[in-house]
Structure 1
Amino acid sequence: MKLTVFGATGGIGQEVVRQALDAGHQVTAVVRDPSRLSVTGERLDVFRADLGDPAAVRPAVAGRDAVLSGLGARRRADAGVATRLTRTVLGAMEAEGVRRLLVVSAAPVGPRPRDAGLLDRGVLGVISAVLKDVYADLRAMEAEVARSTTDWTVVRPPRLQDKPLTGRYRTEIGGFPTKGRYVGRADVAHAMLAMTGDAATLKQGVGVAY
């Protein structure tokens, strides 16, 4: 497939690029600073853009089979960036008629796990309070995506870890795995690539966790 990755210098984004190349896909990585992208490959095109204008990134998505986005705030002070930048991606995709989109959100934005225990509810409450502005941004981003004309999937991981790819994780369409407290960035990337061709995940939020 021909894939475009936004947020390609982030922890999940770089894993998406790396794993997609390893799987034989043609990848366009959209970045602000190419020096921060450590992944290389013959099938990799690096597209430099600041995502301020949908028209400027249209060439990065034109003719692609799918767009995968790891865009989002890296710290609380960056709250608002996910909605703003994703709006640019949506504008470019809609202008080019590209349909398939997968974006990263977060577990607290979606429904609570079924049969969540007292500890899980307490931890979720604390995290949601501390990162309320970031999660408000992600909720707004999800709303923008849901209103779009794209065939979207929102991927909602819990606390992220830097761990090697395992391929052993749980997913739940429309919900979240019970007691799923952690997941590695590499496995989130793996899940996103697996969902790219999965019709069951269209216009759905999908929880992913160990």
Structure 2
Amino acid sequence: MNLTVFGATGGIGREIVRQALGAGHRVTAVVRDPARLDVTGDALEVFRADLTDPEELRAAVRGQDAVLSGLGARSRKDAGVTTRLTRTVLRAMEAEGVRRLLVVSAAPVGPAPEGDGPLDRAMRGVVSAVLKDVYTDLRGTEAELARSSTDWTSVRPPRLQNKPLTGRYRTVVGGFPRKGRFIARADVAHAMLAMIDDEGTVKQGVGVAY
């Protein structure tokens, strides 16, 4: 497949690029600073852009089978950036008639797991309070997706870890895995790539965790 990856220098975005190339896909990695992308490959095109102009991004998504986004706020002070940048990506995709889009969100944006225990509820409450602005940003992002004409999927992981790919995790469409507290960035990327052709995830939030 021909894939475009936004946020390609971030933890999840870089893993998407690496795994997609390893699986034989052709990848267009959209980055602000090409020097920060340490992934290489004959099937990789690096597209430099600042993500503020949808017209500039049209060339990056034109003719692609799917777009995957690892865009997200790096800290609380960046809250709001994900919604703004995703809006730009959506406008570029809609202008080019590209429909499939998968983005990274976060577990607290979606519903709590069924049968959630008091410890997990307490942990979720603390995290949601501390990162309130970030999650407000992600809810805005998901609202933009819902208003768009794209076939979107919002992938909602819990606490992220820098650990090797396992390929073993749980997913719940429209919900979240019970007692799912952690997942590696590499496995989030793996899940996103696996969902590209999964029609059951279209226009859905999907919880993913160990």
> What TM-score comes out, normalization by structure 2 length?
1.00
Give 1:186 shift. 0.1
Distance in structure 2 (CA, Å) of the matches to 1:74 and 1:160: 13
Give 1:61 shift. 0.1
Number of the residue aligned with 1:110: 110
Number of the residue aligned with 1:80: 80
Indicate yes or no: 2:80 matched with 1:100. no
Number of the residue aligned with 1:204: 204
Distance in structure 2 (CA, Å) of the matches to 1:108 and 1:156: 8
1:153-172 alignment runs, 5 A limit = 153-172=153-172
Q: Tell me which amino acid in the other structure corresponds to 1:176.
A: F
Q: Name segments (4+ residues, structure 1) moved above 4 Å.
A: none
Give 1:174 shift. 0.4
Number of the residue aligned with 1:15: 15
1:87-136 deviation line (CA, Å, top 9, x unaligned): 00000000000000000000000000111100000000000000000000
Unaligned runs of 5+ in 2: none
Aligned residues between the structures? 210
Give 1:51 shift. 0.5
Give the 3-state SS of the residue equivalent to 2:50 in structure 1.
coil
Give the 3-state SS of the residue equivalent to 1:63 in structure 2.
coil
Distance in structure 1 (CA, Å) of the matches to 2:42 and 2:64: 17
Give the 3-state SS of the residue equivalent to 1:71 in structure 2.
coil
Number of the residue aligned with 2:32: 32
Give 1:60 shift. 0.2
Number of the residue aligned with 2:91: 91
Distance in structure 2 (CA, Å) of the matches to 1:46 and 1:92: 17
> What TM-score comes out, normalization by structure 1 length?
1.00
Indicate yes or no: 2:137 matched with 1:137. yes
Number of the residue aligned with 1:182: 182
1:44-86 deviation line (CA, Å, top 9, x unaligned): 0000000010000100000000000010101000000000000
Distance in structure 2 (CA, Å) of the matches to 1:69 and 1:52: 15
Give the 3-state SS of the residue equivalent to 1:98 in structure 2.
coil
Counting aligned pairs with the same residue, the percent is: 77
Please tell me the root mean square deviation across aligned C-alpha atoms, in Å.
0.3
1:152-186 deviation line (CA, Å, top 9, x unaligned): 00000000000000000000000000000000000
Distance in structure 2 (CA, Å) of the matches to 1:3 and 1:10: 17
Unaligned runs of 5+ in 1: none
Distance in structure 2 (CA, Å) of the matches to 1:123 and 1:107: 12
Distance in structure 2 (CA, Å) of the matches to 1:72 and 1:20: 20
Distance in structure 2 (CA, Å) of the matches to 1:146 and 1:197: 19
Distance in structure 2 (CA, Å) of the matches to 1:52 and 1:209: 32
Distance in structure 1 (CA, Å) of the matches to 2:134 and 2:95: 28
Q: Tell me which amino acid in the other structure corresponds to 1:152.
A: W
